[in-house]
Amino acid sequence: MTGRTKKLVLGLFVWSIVITAAHGWLNVNWAMLWNDRLPFDKRKLNVAYIPVT
Amino acid sequence: MFQGFPEIKEALIANKIQVAFMVAPMAIALRAQGVPIKIVYLGHRYGSAFVVRKDGPIHSVKDLPGKTIAIPSRFSDERLMVFRALKANGVDPKSLKMVEMAPPDVAGALAVSAIDAFSMGEPYPSQAEIGGFGRVLFHAREYWPDYMSCVVVVRQDIIDKRPKAVQTLVDGIARSGMWLDKGRDNRLAAADFVGRLYFNQPPKLLTWALTNPIDRVVYSSLTPRKPDFDLVRDLMIETGVLDKKIEFEEYIDTTFAEGGHGLTAWKWQPGDEQAN
């Protein structure tokens, strides 16, 4: 693999990590995922609302 | 937090959420379609209004023929409220157009004249008033004395397997309602922390909605009552969004509303770390 190719692969790898981390931070509700792993009777209830009466 | 009732409906059916604040007709329709849910409490009474452009041509319900009105859902009390107003004023519902719109979009749509009016829950009527482009033509109570809109819906499996959790939830909602209805100071505090931390809306908007007038939205008398729901069900049948009679006991569970004994308002004021 040439030096240029290695740089390209490394850059793509770093970019993938950055995008994955951003997605995980912005779009994944980790609290809900963790809650789903708890026993049924220990889970918090997920309550939905719209900011409207 | 969601932005529209259809999304809440799908999340409830998929068990992504177990409890939802939802407009009452949607909850009744879901149960009639076999979705295993029950209504256990009301969210509030009143708090919906019909709003027109402040400087527009509509000054009475009789001016509505030919107009476009936004509603949150065909399965909403806001839609039924419009039908009651039309009937009381002798206006044919077929003479105007109703369009479904997500609640956060209606004030902006009215401001740019994309719609002629909207029938919606707070704080969107307040948003139009504060923005200077909207005028309340009527509040829900004018045509519906015991008006209710949002109800608390719980999945049946949660009711069956975790009744204590449901009781805790209903008691908490009841105590919050008592706290809000204690007076203006509590409503001002709620407008501040709810606006900043939960609704992502300006506190002054919620202040207007909760205090102009002080009973614009009421948080007492929230136990589900058969006459109220029979009225909603019958209006749904009359207006074509429900095709069969469903009995109160099939979609309401009053045991939790009746199970809260000796409840008092939360003891909390700004600066306290938690309520007791």
Structure confidence at residue B237 (pLDDT): 97
Q: Is the pLDDT of residue B261 over 80?
A: no
Interface of A with B in 11-50 (CB under 8 A): 40-41, 45-50
For residue B22, the chain A residues in CB contact (below 8 A) are 48
Q: Are residues B31 and B163 in the same domain?
A: yes
Q: Are residues B16 and B74 in the same domain?
A: no
Count: domains in chain B: 2
For residue B149, the chain A residues in CB contact (below 8 A) are 53
Of B103, B161, B162, the CB nearest to A52: B103
Query: Is the whole-model pTM more than 0.90?
Result: no
For residue A50, the chain B residues in CB contact (below 8 A) are 1-5, 8, 21, 103
- Give the residue from chain A lying closest to B196, CA to CA: A51
Spatial CA neighbour of B150 closest among B140, B158, B136: B140
* Domain-embedded: residue B254: yes
* Domain-embedded: residue A11: yes
* Domain-embedded: residue B235: yes
* Domain-embedded: residue A51: no
Q: Are residues B31 and B81 in the same domain?
A: no
Q: Are residues B242 and B162 in the same domain?
A: yes
Could you tell me the pLDDT band of residue B5, with boundaries at 50, 70 and 90?
Answer: confident
Q: Are residues B10 and B87 in the same domain?
A: no
Q: Are residues B67 and B40 in the same domain?
A: no
Q: Are residues B40 and B153 in the same domain?
A: yes
Express as a percent the part of chain B with pLDDT over 90. Answer: 84
* Domain-embedded: residue A16: yes
Count: domains in chain A: 1
Last residue of a domain, one of B86, B114, B143: B143
* Domain-embedded: residue B195: no
Could you tell me the pLDDT band of residue B6, with boundaries at 50, 70 and 90?
Answer: confident
Q: Are residues B56 and B132 in the same domain?
A: yes
Distance from CA of B80 to the nearest CA of A (A): 15
Of A45, A46, A53, the CB nearest to B149: A53
Spatial CA neighbour of B34 closest among B13, B14, B51, B54: B13
Q: In the structure encoding, which two tokens stand for residue A49, read together?
A: 């609302």
Q: Picking from B142-151, B194-203, B208-217, B261-270, which range would have the lowest pLDDT averaged per residue? A: B261-270
C-alpha to C-alpha distance for B132 and B114, rounded to whole angstroms: 17
* Domain-embedded: residue A48: no
Last residue of a domain, one of B143, B169, B200: B143
Q: Is the pLDDT of residue B112 over 90?
A: yes
The burial class, CB within 10 Å (0-12 / 13-18 / 19+), for B178 is middle
- Domain residues for B75? 46-143
Average pLDDT rounded to a whole number, residues B5-20: 91
* Domain-embedded: residue B265: no
B16-28 residue pLDDT tens: 999 999 999 999 9
Q: Are residues B21 and B75 in the same domain?
A: no
